[in-house]
Structure 1
């Protein structure tokens, strides 16, 4: 009997773990999770696009404002853009700075190539796969993008304005700036072509100057001594026009009834209602347009479709609406 009990007990001990393994009532404990000793890796942030900005050194308030607005826009896009801005005094220096930006790794260049001779280096950059967006200046380079005011239409509007104020006959002095390349060429073309259509008997005398008030004053003082009668002045730039107005005042001349300009200078706007005997006009050509060039460069890098050339329409400002364009925060 004792032998039988022992056998039953042995069988019982043998079957117990088997029954436990087959059953579902006994939970199986799992080891507690332990925190990782190293934190999970943060996804790598996308690298910012590198955009280089090339602008002329400050020789003129409008040019200074271009660099100011370009840099401000790049700063506003700091979550997407890393930038460098370089300013130069001639084509050779700008070419060297372009090379520096390419070495830095610029994927796009916003350039204001104010001098002749930038076609070859800009074309070379484009051929290397770099996006180039020119501001204001049209150059002969295949694949270059451009944001500009309507330089030719500024000339058209200048001709219309002068004829509106003095009629279809008289003597107009046109102040061109050959050193500014396509800017002067297009403004001159618009003016001359329009005058030929609407006032073919108008006498146009052309003189060269620069986009500074100092040159406007000096050159126009000489022009006044060699021209006894002038009815209007087609000046392409606000700063030049300020010099012209000073020369007229110092010479005591009362024959000139219109002086045009271009750019959008606050100081010039404020002079408009103060001069009752001369119609002072500006074809608005805001330096803030350069922000559109920076935007275009970023859009291209992000793969967005853009127009190769974007032209900003012309707006005319004179004593009748100058107050609408005053901006105390403007750097120009």
Structure 2
């Protein structure tokens, strides 16, 4: 990890001020979801204060996790009487989002919350807003330039890989498997977040003398998950363990498992969908665990943006300003603790 990464504040999966997403099934199509915001406490930062207009931009929802991001952000903003929420369509790619953000910047909101299509490609948009005097809360996909954001809140992608690998190592050792055949189904390979997840996974496996035998990228959707898993099964006649990075694409992975009648392995998911947790609880599929990457971070991003707009710090911290970077820890959900996490499922 870099020195910058070591300086990050680490919080649990439900970040300070986090709204939590409730029931919402995932599929290849983005589904309507019901968001639960953090209940307002009496006194402190929850009391109505200076009016804040928050501009918001995130990619169009092509899977459940992204739908939950936008749904959570809007619900958290609606929970504050002093917040006006202004969202702009991000379009289908980074270029379209850049154009939309230029329009948003011209409207001069007090703060912008932005989940970019790609952090590197949208870094210039973050810089443009900051240079215009509009603080940016960079959500999930990180801008490489620290001057492009006031605050960054994101999941621990490297930590997801570490958590998934540690679970697989533990299970393989318990089964007495010394040289397991391990498959990996990542999301969009071009994204830095996917690369970080895979690096955390492979580096942690290597510490136990394990390695990935075959890796088939998907695109966070059920259709792509099914295609990737089918290719993985064709390449590996026997498998001991699989890490699928994303529970949305995991629906397609499970379809491929059923189609191929392959149940000889254990599987770990990623993100923490409600469907995945229910399958883990039922314990009748290869899916035995999932590692969290919760869209509740969008609710937290809105809460942070409001505090920044009101020039306030986080009430439980001594410092007078909101931290520069907040990273949400990736937790491992199993049959034993799934009931504690269901309320966080999307």
Q: Same fold (TM over 0.5)?
A: yes
| In 1, Cα distance between equivalents of 2:203 and 2:304 | 32
Match status 1:173 vs 2:183: yes
List per-residue Cα deviations over 1:39-68 (Å, max 9, x = no partner): xxxxxxx97222101011110001001000
Instruction: Specify which of 196, 207, 210 is matched with residue 216 of structure 2.
Output: 207
Contact 1:123 1:142 (C-alpha < 8 Å) held by counterparts:
no
Matched with 1:155 is 161
Extract structure 1 runs of 4+ deviating beyond 4 A. Answer: none
Compare relative contact order (CA 8 Å, sep 6+) and give the higher one, 1 or 2: 2
After TM superposition, the score normalised by the length of structure 1 is 0.80
Does the CA contact (< 8 Å) of 1:151 and 1:183 recur in 2?
A: yes
The answer as to 2:254 corresponding to 1:250 is: no
SS of the residue corresponding to residue 58 of structure 1 reads coil
- What residue number does 1:191 align with? 201
Normalising by structure 2, what TM-score?
0.76
The answer on whether the counterparts of 1:126 and 1:132 sit within 8 Å (CA) in structure 2 is yes
1:248 is paired with a residue of what secondary structure?
helix
Question: Which of the pair has more CA radius of gyration?
Answer: 1
Q: Is contact 1:171-1:230 (8 Å) kept?
A: yes
Q: How many residues align?
A: 283
Pick the aligned partner of 2:112 from 102, 109, 112: 109
Aligned partners of 1:178 and 1:285: how far apart in 2?
Answer: 16
CA contact (8 A) 1:146 1:309 kept: yes
Alignment of 1:1-332 (within 5 A): 48-77=51-80, 79-88=81-90, 89-115=92-118, 116-143=120-147, 144=149, 145-167=151-173, 168-179=178-189, 181-197=191-207, 199-256=208-265, 258-276=266-284, 278-304=286-312, 305-327=321-343, 332=346
Q: Structure 1: 5+ residue runs without aligned partners?
A: 1-45
Q: Please state how far the C-alpha of 1:202 moved relative to its aligned partner.
A: 3.4
**Shift in CA distance, 279/57, structure 1 to aligned 2, threshold 3 Å:** closer
Whether contact under 8 Å (2:280, 2:287) holds in the other structure is: yes
For the 8 Å contact 1:146–1:308, the answer to whether it is kept is yes
Gaps of 5+ in 2: 1-48, 313-320
Distance of 2:272 and 2:65 partners within structure 1: 8
Deviation at 1:201, TM superposition (A): 3.9
Compute the displacement of 1:194 (Å). 0.8
User: 1:331 & 1:226 partners in 2: Cα distance?
Assistant: 32
- Alignment check: 8 A CA contact 2:142 2:152 kept: yes
Determine helix, strand or coil for the equivalent of 1:291: helix
CA distance in 2, matches of 1:326, 1:47: 35
Question: Is the 2:279–2:287 Cα contact (8 Å) retained in structure 1?
Answer: no
CA offsets, 1:185-227, max 9 Å, x none?
A: 2211211111111x22434322221111111111211221121
What is the Cα deviation at residue 179 of structure 1? Answer: 4.8
Please state how far the C-alpha of 1:326 moved relative to its aligned partner: 2.5
Q: CA 1:94/1:331 → structure 2, altered by over 3 Å: closer, same or farther?
A: farther
Secondary structure at the counterpart of residue 173 of structure 1: strand
Question: What is the CA RMSD across the aligned residues, in angstroms?
Answer: 2.1
For residues 331 and 99 of structure 1, do their structure 2 counterparts lie closer, same or farther at Cα, with a shift above 3 Å needed? farther
Q: Secondary structure at the match of 1:134?
A: strand
Q: Tell me by how many angstroms 1:180 deviates.
A: 6.1
